[in-house]
Amino acid sequence: SKALLEAEKVYYNVWCIFTKVASNSPMRKKFAIFAESLLRLSSVDIVFHVITDEDSKDVAEKVLEGVLLSTGKFMKVQYYDVHKLASQLEDIVSVMSPHFSSKPGTYYSDALFFLSLGLHRIAPIEQSVAAMFDADTKFRKDVKELFEEFNSFGGQALFGLAPELTPVYRHVLYLYRNKHPNTSFGEPSKSNGYPGYNSGVVLFNLDRLRNSSIYDRIVKKESVQAMTEKYHFKGHLGDQDFYTLLGMERPELIHTIDCGWNRQLCIWWRDRGYADVFGNYSRCDSETKLWHGNCNTPIPDD
């Protein structure tokens, strides 16, 4: 019967944060490109989960209406109130923001950048896995292929993330690297180093996260304090600073995905004293499956 078929359908859970957007804002255009490319290239059934505020929701609804029309395809859409989620995850946000925020204390604007760290507490229980994307991204391949990365997760992996493609963590780890000249932390992957992670694309094993006492402990104040002290780490990129530290302390908890799935375009660090090494970080030899126009960098048309 139809009801039975519906129950057996496999849905791909795609999450995105879309807040503080006015109808004329550049973010609207980025979000349209992201959602259009996602749906156009997808061969699977998507549920699109949009974390938003009251005004931005109206914008999102209009954009997504247009995307359904222009692609001639369908996806379910669910909206979540960013203020409500921020208060549900206040514990995590208040631990993280003093260490990983550019202006700690600006409470609500901060929370947004840490929501991914508690997605397993927000996502409806039926979701066993999910993916989250920055709105400034654009697909070149079927999202189904990204979800195949879950099959390569190690036995303990909670998250899947692609490498950071700039020397930002070389910079942040400056003091630690001076004290530990042979460390691979902050080195590019090219030379078997660890450049940190970028959170423009995040895969979640939500079932494991919900049951992980290790994770619960590691997001606590004492643990985050210990990690930041050990590495003299003061960041400003939100969740991805935490993922980067997690990958140093507990590498088995993060599965590294192909750089082609998060091909970052930001070149800000190249012109801030890192011109000589920048190319070692930004190089990604695999096919681009998703562009990430971070720090407002335009995305190529193809």
Smallest distance, Å, CB 142 to ligand UPG?
A: 21
Fill in the per-residue mask, 127 to 156: x = in contact with ligand UPG (CB under 6 A), - = not in contact.
-------xxx--------------------
Considering the complex, state which of residue 2 and residue 103 has its C-beta at the smaller distance from ligand UPG: 103
Secondary structure element (H or E) that encloses residue 221, with its range: helix 221-230
Strand order in the sheet with 159-163: 76-81, 45-52, 11-18, 129-133, 197-205, 159-163, 254-256
- Assess 199 for contact with ligand UPG (CB under 6 A): yes
Identify the DSSP state of 193: -
The answer to whether 125 and 20 are in contact (CB under 8 A) is no
- Applying CB under 6 A, among 13, 19, 97, 282 the residue interacting with ligand UPG is 19
Instruction: Measure the CA–CA gap between 97 and 246, rounded to whole angstroms.
Output: 16
Q: Which of 264, 269, 282, 289 binds ligand UPG (CB under 6 A)?
A: 264
Q: For residues 68 and 72, give the distance between their C-alpha atoms in angstroms, rounded to a whole number.
A: 6
* Residue of 205, 228, 240, 244 that binds ligand UPG (CB under 6 A): 240
The nearest distance, CB 213 to ligand UPG, in angstroms, is 27
Rounded to whole angstroms, how far apart are CA atoms 125 and 299?
A: 35
Q: Which of 37, 101, 127, 198 binds ligand UPG (CB under 6 A)?
A: 198
Token pair recorded at residue 34: 């992201």
Nearer to ligand UPG, 207 or 219 (CB): 219
Nearest alpha carbon to residue 278 among 163, 162, 137, 170: 170
Q: Where are the beta strands (DSSP E) in 101-153?
A: 129-133, 137-139
Per-residue binding string, ligand UPG, 61-100, x by CB under 6 A, is ----------------------------------------
Among 96, 115, 237, 248, binds ligand UPG (CB under 6 A): 237
Residues near ligand UPG, by CB under 6 A: 16-20, 113, 134-136, 198-200, 237-238, 240, 264, 266, 294-295
